[in-house]
Chain A
Amino acid sequence: MLASGAGASAHRYDEFLQATRIGMESDRVRLEMSLTPGIAVAPAAIRAIDIDGDGVFSSVERRAYANAVLKNFSVRVDEGPALQLALADSNFPAPGTMLTGDVPISITLEAELPRIDSGDHHLRFRNDNETAGSVYLANALVPDTPRIAITGQDRDADQRELTIAFTVSEAGPSLAELGWIAAAGMLLLLPLHRRVRMVTLGAR
């Protein structure tokens, strides 16, 4: 039972928030999704997962829901075909807690990136997962590799589609590596400097 006054604290009501964070690594793209049904839409969301209606999300039901959601997402690089998305992880709250409108379902999808040449590219993400009251949020994470730099993000009006402009550069030394190279250069030059001085002094 909700405590008296507890209704005043209700969070999301009639919205189903679908928030996606898109991470690019050197060889893969990762979609991290938090799906949070509001109070009014939570019962329908629960029924969509708990197919047998026993009040428990079984592993079979969770996998089925996650795979159904997966089919509604697409990622493309440049004008290429849709990448092959696979379910990497999922986390479902207890059905009862979803009725508060606060607690998300977490689903992570991954796809291998094709070989991408150096230069400017774009990645297009689209969320066609449509449920009653859906509102969408999509954001790029800072890439996991210094070879990829995001130069812009362009969303459609609903935020169901996010186009990430990025550049790929050849692998180069990081700042720390440059520092070590400089230090190593010093160490290598030191004996040579001494030897040259000795030879020079000997020549005198």
Chain B
Amino acid sequence: MSLIWPAIELTLKLASLTTIILLLLGIPLSWWLSNTKNHFKPIVEALVAIPLVLPPTVLGFYLLILLGNNGLLGQFSIYFTGQSLAFTFTGLLIASILYSLPFVVQPLQAAFDQLDKRNIEAAYVLGAYPLRVFFSIVVPQAKRGFLTAIILGFSHTVGEFGVVLMVGGNIPGETQMISIAIYELVESLEYEKAHYLAAGLLLFSFTVLMFVYGFNARHRLKR
């Protein structure tokens, strides 16, 4: 069991941090994508969606180069901390953010697209400033998108394998996530422990998806 708990703890920590950072980055990015008529929009949309179609090992490989000793971000990190980002938790976090980006940005963008823009304008004319408009009009009207983005961003990070293996390696307590722990347990023929983790992940994924679909169905009925 010594392998399991640190992996669970690390996975939850990584997924929580990734989701929070992705929300902070994803909200302005998806708002921009939803409202802009800029010529660069398709390019940005394609870049955001790349992790959906690219094999995780390809993304992981390039991230490893970028974050490693000779990579731009790696050297930047060495300059300030004396250590590259490859095989570290920070490196893992950066990789997770990029890998899960479309799972947060796309539901948010779809929700922002469906917003009644007149409501936002009416709020402005009634004297509300952008921050109040965001919390009083945008968030309540796009709550389905927010919930979907949070849940998909979190659960996708929990289920990562290829990218985290490439970028983080398999350092117990530091970069070893649940999915990698399962892989290692299976390799060492510890099937019972692997079962605990695998079944736990299966149950988690099913519960999360059931919650998302249930919430969306209830919300649709209310409308």
Partners in one complex: no
Instruction: Give residues in A with beta carbon < 8 Å to B.
Output: none
Instruction: Give residues in B with beta carbon < 8 Å to A.
Output: none
